[in-house]
A and B are shown apart, each in its own frame.
Chain A
Amino acid sequence: MKIWAKTLSGKKSNMELLLEINSLTMDFGGIRALDHLDMQIAKGKIVALIGPNGAGKTTFFNCLTGIYTPSGGELILHTRDQVVQKLNGLKPNQVTKRGLARTFQNIRLFPSMTVLENVMIGHHCRTKAGVLGAVFRGKKTRYEEARIINQSYEILENVGLSSFVNEFAKNLPYGAQRRLEIARALATDPQLLLLDEPAAGMNPQETDELNELILKIRDQGLSIMLIEHDMRLVMSLSEYIFVMDYGKKIAEGAPEKIQNNPAVIKAYLGEDIEDVT
């Protein structure tokens, strides 16, 4: 624990723990997709999770967000009000409510809803209006609706999508769809944002914009965990890196250390070594 805190940035004092993963294991029939994974994620940092294809990165996200139920291990979240909570066995919506929001590797927007509505959906778990509220549309409900719309619009402005507000999500260019996924996740008011290959399929310019966006989000006080194959992006963004292969964590540390780690280079052999070094 102490060693980890030192390597992260040297400043031990403001090193607050956000998420602890202890011995997380996930089996699919005979396949062990996650093998006793241990991780500790600090608050307010950009952390990257890398590894070759099929290493189990997406599976890790799915276990963390409740889409899969892990076969073993513990997920412990330190919430904003200093409460320590186990995430195991929670449903995806309960995990989201506790402050973890994610994007998907293969974009999962609501295609036939408008861009604004997509973001408005994100507010669902932070708002209350029920059936009766919807029918009678009292002052409270109207106020809440207006607030949802305003905040959603603000988020869209933040990610640079305000010109698409009333567009169907499916009509957006690819890069914009990826950013809309981030906007939608931000609307759930998370403390940890989980991004699964946000730069996949983006051109260099879009990737640069994404880079800026992620830094901006971090500066607003969110923690970010990022799965990415684009090593340039990973190295420029992340303050700490975890490396996985075959469901196991094979290395962790600051970007410079990871670049020269022999185990990591070995895992990536067969892929483009240029990218790693």
Chain B
Amino acid sequence: MSDTQVILYRDVKKGLLVALWFMFLTFPIMVIKVNPIDKIIIWRWQNMFLVGGASFFLYLFSQIFLRKRKTSSQGDQAAKPSRLPFQQALITESKFFIPALCLFGLFWLSFPWLFSTYQTNIMITALMYVVLGLGLNIVVGVAGLLDLGYVAFYAVGAYSYALLNTHFGLGFWTVLPIGALLAMLFGILLGFPVLRLRGDYLAIVTLGFGEIIRLILENWNEFSQGPSGISNIARPGFFGIDMSLDAAISYTYYLMICLVLATIFIVNRLQNSRIGRAWFALREDEIACQAMGIDKTKTKLTAFALGATWAGMVGVIFAAKTTFVNPASFTFLESAIILCIVVLGGMGSIVGVILGALILILLPEYLRAFSDYRMLVFGAVLVTMMVFRPQGIISNIRRTYAIDEDLGQNTVRQKE
């Protein structure tokens, strides 16, 4: 017990090495500053010592923290050898959950009145990523199919609205289902060739697929107007009423809230259904899953198709919100961010993915105060998170069933 509390000599030595390594790594950006006008180099040595000191202490703290956790979790295991995770109780316990939900609901509903248009716009983006995250969560988190080209379906949705609107004058509400269906079609299209692939191979093929879609949009000028993109796309309409920009943004905001709610509702029902169980089983063990009578092909295709559908819908909303689309919005980085949302939030957990999306999208915005170091801090948060909680914010919560046999026959109460 004693050696878990104190800082060992070994840790100090390692900490010094870590500090040295970080000083070396950050040397070019933190220490050297070139002044091109006076043609001189400014050496900011004090920064080097700051970095060294900070990384040394951070290392020591993390060591102490990790060790404490290890011993406490060992204690836990001895005390109660097998229990569903703590969060399960937290989220399934309605007396805790419902008031929190009401509060949240009020906050989200009054958001456009409480904050500026700028803030509302950011929140719309965050909500879009919530839906994208929930969509990708079906594919990656639930069915366990690593899809790195998810942004392709997002692009399909966005461009279907852009093109149908500019060429045929179709309205937002007409294209929303069309975009969703087109994306679904592309999901199935991608699904077929990759049915036999797993893990890394699947990741590479989907990555390629995403890039193909982007390259087509970038190079097929007659079709998509290439890199310059399509502008002057109509904003979402509301029975033909003319809206001011502010009103239009608030309207889009509420639209997104509705979509988020619908998505949560549907994804939740899907996960707790026969299909959802099949997805989870597919993620856990493909061979056992098949041996239990689950059609692998059908299950994978539904996952791809449904995941893509959400991306398509958000794509349409994206095009309507920004009134402009070009291929630069659909790079691999987007796929990576959406994937980060799912992994950070917790694979297969709806609440986790929502939190993940809000953190990942809002954090960089509100970190603007740190100006240049914004992305650095962002990266540090991500790395720390994955080191200390590799299973994501909310990890694998399974539904539990209460079964009582009073009436001689099992009556089943379902807890959600």
Chain A residues within CB distance 8 Å of chain B:
65-67, 91-93, 96-97, 101-102, 104, 108-114, 116-117, 120-127, 129-131, 133-135, 137, 141, 144-146, 148-150, 153-154, 165-168, 171, 184-185, 187-188
A131–B276 alpha-carbon span in the complex (Å): 9
> Which residues of B, 285-344, contact A by the 8 Å Cβ criterion?
285, 287-296, 302, 306
- A129–B84 touching, CB < 8 Å: no
- B270–A92 touching, CB < 8 Å: no
Query: B400 at interface (Cβ–Cβ under 8 A)?
Result: yes
Query: B281 at interface (Cβ–Cβ under 8 A)?
Result: yes
Asked if A134 meets B82 with Cβ closer than 8 Å, knowing A93-B293, A102-B291, A124-B293, the reply is no
Query: B116 at interface (Cβ–Cβ under 8 A)?
Result: no
Checking A102, A108, A126, A149 against B403 with a beta-carbon cut-off of 8 angstroms, the contacting residue is: A149
Query: B398 at interface (Cβ–Cβ under 8 A)?
Result: yes
**A67 contact set on B, CB distance < 8 A:** 287, 290-291
- B270–A124 touching, CB < 8 Å: no
Query: B284 at interface (Cβ–Cβ under 8 A)?
Result: yes
For this complex, 26 residue pairs linking A to B, each with C-beta atoms less than 8 Å apart, are: A67-B291, A96-B291, A109-B284, A110-B288, A112-B284, A113-B281, A113-B284, A120-B277, A121-B278, A121-B294, A124-B278, A125-B292, A127-B274, A131-B275, A133-B274, A134-B274, A137-B269, A141-B273, A145-B273, A146-B412, A149-B412, A150-B412, A153-B403, A171-B81, A187-B292, A188-B293
Checking B275, B293, B294, B295 against A134 with a beta-carbon cut-off of 8 angstroms, the contacting residue is: B275
> Which residues of B, 378-405, contact A by the 8 Å Cβ criterion?
396, 398-401, 403
**B398 contact set on A, CB distance < 8 A:** 112-114, 117, 166, 168
Asked if A110 meets B284 with Cβ closer than 8 Å, knowing A149-B401, A184-B292, the reply is yes
CB distance from A215 to the nearest CB of B (A): 24
> Which residues of B, 151-176, contact A by the 8 Å Cβ criterion?
none
A105–B297 alpha-carbon span in the complex (Å): 25
A76–B281 alpha-carbon span in the complex (Å): 29
Query: B59 at interface (Cβ–Cβ under 8 A)?
Result: no
A102–B289 alpha-carbon span in the complex (Å): 12
Query: B90 at interface (Cβ–Cβ under 8 A)?
Result: no
Asked if A124 meets B294 with Cβ closer than 8 Å, knowing A109-B288, A114-B400, A134-B270, the reply is yes
A135–B273 alpha-carbon span in the complex (Å): 9
10 nearest interchain CB pairs?
A: A125-B293, A134-B273, A96-B293, A110-B284, A108-B288, A92-B290, A171-B82, A166-B400, A129-B274, A150-B410
- A153–B293 touching, CB < 8 Å: no
Asked if A121 meets B295 with Cβ closer than 8 Å, knowing A110-B284, A135-B270, A149-B401, the reply is no
- B270–A131 touching, CB < 8 Å: yes
Query: B266 at interface (Cβ–Cβ under 8 A)?
Result: yes
Query: B280 at interface (Cβ–Cβ under 8 A)?
Result: yes
Checking B275, B281, B289 against A130 with a beta-carbon cut-off of 8 angstroms, the contacting residue is: B275
With both beta carbons as reference points, the residue of chain A lying nearest to B280 in the complex is identified as: A113
**B284 contact set on A, CB distance < 8 A:** 109-113
Besides the contacts A122-B293, A134-B276, what 18 more A-B pairs have beta carbons closer than 8 Å? Answer: A67-B291, A91-B295, A93-B292, A93-B295, A101-B291, A110-B285, A112-B284, A113-B277, A113-B280, A116-B401, A124-B281, A130-B275, A131-B306, A135-B269, A153-B403, A166-B400, A168-B82, A168-B84
Query: Which of B281, B288, B412 gathers the greatest number of chain A CB atoms within 10 Å?
Result: B288
CB distance from B266 to the nearest CB of A (A): 5
With both beta carbons as reference points, the residue of chain B lying nearest to A133 in the complex is identified as: B273
CB distance from B185 to the nearest CB of A (A): 15
Asked if A129 meets B292 with Cβ closer than 8 Å, knowing A111-B284, A121-B278, the reply is no
**B401 contact set on A, CB distance < 8 A:** 116, 149, 165-166
**A184 contact set on B, CB distance < 8 A:** 292
Asked if A166 meets B84 with Cβ closer than 8 Å, knowing A125-B293, A134-B274, A134-B276, the reply is yes
**B302 contact set on A, CB distance < 8 A:** 131
A91–B290 alpha-carbon span in the complex (Å): 8
**B277 contact set on A, CB distance < 8 A:** 113, 117, 120-121, 124
With both beta carbons as reference points, the residue of chain B lying nearest to A123 in the complex is identified as: B274
**B400 contact set on A, CB distance < 8 A:** 114, 166
Checking A108, A120, A127, A129 against B285 with a beta-carbon cut-off of 8 angstroms, the contacting residue is: A108
Query: Which of A102, A108, A124 gathers the greatest number of chain B CB atoms within 10 Å?
Result: A124
A20–B273 alpha-carbon span in the complex (Å): 37
CB distance from B341 to the nearest CB of A (A): 20
- A109–B285 touching, CB < 8 Å: yes
A210–B203 alpha-carbon span in the complex (Å): 42
CB distance from B295 to the nearest CB of A (A): 5
A170–B399 alpha-carbon span in the complex (Å): 16
- A135–B293 touching, CB < 8 Å: no
A37–B291 alpha-carbon span in the complex (Å): 23
A145–B291 alpha-carbon span in the complex (Å): 21
CB distance from B415 to the nearest CB of A (A): 10
With both beta carbons as reference points, the residue of chain A lying nearest to B298 in the complex is identified as: A93
CB distance from B412 to the nearest CB of A (A): 5
**A133 contact set on B, CB distance < 8 A:** 273-274
CB distance from B282 to the nearest CB of A (A): 9
